[in-house]
Amino acid sequence: DADVTQTPRNRITKTGKRIMLECSQTKGHDRMYWYRQDPGLGLRLIYYSFDVKDINKGEISDGYSVSRQAQAKFSLSLESAIPNQTALYFCATSQGNNQPQHFGDGTRLSIL
Amino acid sequence: QKEVEQNSGPLSVPEGAIASLNCTYSDRGSQSFFWYRQYSGKSPELIMSIYSNGDKEDGRFTAQLNKASQYVSLLIRDSQPSDSATYLCAVNPSGATNKLIFGTGTLLAVQP
């Protein structure tokens, strides 16, 4: 089983819909992250959380919200999806300072 | 704006050759450095971490760090077609406590 699990793996939806992407981890890491990846733009940080009571905006948080329901769970919501939010979304985890991040398999999201 | 720069490529090398991938970063106080491999449509996979000046070897991979020149590189010896992927450089800048900055990646193509 994957250490960092994202659901769903693929999602096609319509403009204006509310969407939730979920991430759970069995690594026991305290830090969790949400990124989006677009061709030519690389990975861009949306939100991150260093523990259950800590939520921080990344560089592109507008139009997104998150919830850290437990140490192992971090969900990303698009309240009213728009086509330019079509992208590949990744959840990642890490533990401690200066340590690498470990990525889930990603969610391919298409908004029509 | 803290930045990480990579040549987007593609970098084309023949099978069995050494592939050299380069990355520069803007924050002189950066503390930790990572190389990820990403196959098309898949998630980034950690292949190397380096924290101090010099070389670090792991199998066919060698990471090189020069903090004075703000430069980190990845060498892949005996390149194989299966090494064909995008390689992402990630840097943990000063004060960021694990909020990595990613380059946009270099596409490596190993020709059989």
Residue pLDDT, tens place only, A51-85: 998 999 999 999 999 999 999 999 999 999 999 99
N-term to C-term CA, chain A? 32
Residue B96 has pLDDT above 70, yes or no: no
| Residue A1 scores a pLDDT above 60 | no
**B69 in contact with chain A, both atoms CB, cutoff 8 A:** no
Is any Cβ of chain B less than 8 angstroms from the Cβ of A63? no
- Residue A41 is predicted with a pLDDT of 82
For the segment B33-81, what is each residue's pLDDT rounded down to a tens digit? 999 999 999 999 999 999 999 999 999 999 999 999 999 999 999 999 9
Identity of the residue in A40, A42, A97 whose CB atom sits nearest the CB atom of B102: A42
- CB–CB of B41 and A96 under 8 A? no
B1 touches chain A (CB under 8 A): no
Cβ contacts of B48 within 8 Å, gap of 6 or more: B34, B35, B56, B58, B61, B63, B74
Burial readout A10-25 (b: 16 or more C-beta within 10 A, e: otherwise): ebebeeeeebebbbbb
Q: Which positions ≥6 away from B57 have C-beta within 8 Å?
A: none
Q: List chain A residues with CB under 8 Å of B98.
A: 31, 50, 94, 96-99, 101
**CB contacts < 8 Å between A and B, how many?**
51
Residue B97 has pLDDT above 80, yes or no: no
pLDDT at B16: 97
Phi, psi of B17 (to 5 degrees): -85, 175
- Per-residue model confidence (pLDDT) at position B111: 96
**CB atoms near residue B75 (< 10 Å):** 16
Nearest to A103 among B8, B44, B92 (CB): B44
Assigned token pair, A38: 């677009």
The percent of residues above 90 in pLDDT, for chain A, comes to 89
Which tokens go with A103?
A: 């990525």
Query: Between chains, do B98 and A94 touch, taking CB under 8 Å as contact?
Result: yes
Cα angle B55, B58, B61 (rounded to 5 degrees) comes to 75
B90 near A CB under 8 A: yes
Instruction: Indicate whether B98 pLDDT > 80.
Output: no
Mean pLDDT taken over chain B? 94
The phi and psi torsions of B55 (rounded to 5 degrees) equal -110, 150
